[in-house]
Amino acid sequence: MTVVPEFDMPGHTHAVGLAYPELAEAPAVEVISEGSTPVAGEPYTGIGVGFSSLRIWEEATDAFVRDVFAELADLTPGPWLHFGGDESLGTTPEDFARFVASASAAITALGKTPVAWHEAGAAAGLAPGTVGQFWGFVSPTDAAARHARAFAERGGRLILSPADAVYLDMKPTADSPLGFTWANGPTSLARAYDWEPTRVVDGVDEAAILGVEAPLWTETVATLEDIDALAFPRIAAAAEIAWSPASGAERSWASFRSRVGGLGPLWTTLGIRFPALEEVPWTT
């Protein structure tokens, strides 16, 4: 297993402003969609996103970015460092492009491969070879596919994390007490299984796909039991989709639901507290 550290910039940086207020722009509160209103220099406990930004053109910010990633590079033997780049709604396109170019170049200079969310593909100065991570939908909307393709066009590869298939923080059922529904509603096990990585972004072939990641963001998670309830059994669908040929003999929903049902006793023995979704004929 290789741990890939992510320090998400230039958005998702409200915490930076608490420790280094001279590096942070004032929150762009107009982009907050939910939760309390953030105030510069004060802890924020809401779950709104997109409001924070660094002061992109300051040399002190550049030095901070270099220091952060130099320290992370020393901590990990792995080849990748993730600098984020998503939901930077409090940063102008010009500033965002400048930051992406600078941050990806700084990571490359450390001998590591930069990784960024797909929005960074919009920046012309993105370092060649940067890996992109796509978090749009299985059927991409807006410019998501174009931005994702840009990584491959510049010699990089793609990690696929379509939110409406493998975001494990989505509700598995409409009545689940945990999770969200913003990614096209609840993500059932059947929907988590019904996609193929090579068919998500047009113009990106299998050789350009580095892998699949199933994120589990934890705004609604408080315990290990909560993690189990959101991850299982959908993590099994993510694993099969990522690691099995699209044309495999058992690559079908009917086959998968039968086989995953047989894992119930094993998971129970291992102490995994999975929800017994009605979609599956569980072995007892």
Which residue numbers are catalytic? 87
Cα distances from 241 to residues 53, 55, 246, 253, in angstroms, run 36, 41, 8, 11
CA 165, CA 151: separation in Å to the nearest integer? Answer: 22
Radius of gyration of the chain (CA): 20
Q: Are 103 and 130 in contact (CB under 8 A)?
A: no
Report the residue count for the chain: 284
103 half-sphere exposure, CB direction, 13 A CA radius: 31
Which candidate, 67, 71, 65, 70, places its Cα nearest to that of 85?
65
Q: Where are the alpha helices (DSSP H) in 112-204?
A: 144-153, 163-166, 189-193
In the three-class reduction of DSSP (H, G, I as helix; E, B as strand; rest coil), residue 80 is classed as: strand
Which residues have a Cβ under 8 Å from the Cβ of 220 and sit 6 or more positions away? 169, 178, 179, 180, 226
Q: What are phi and psi of 154, to 5 degrees?
A: -105, 20
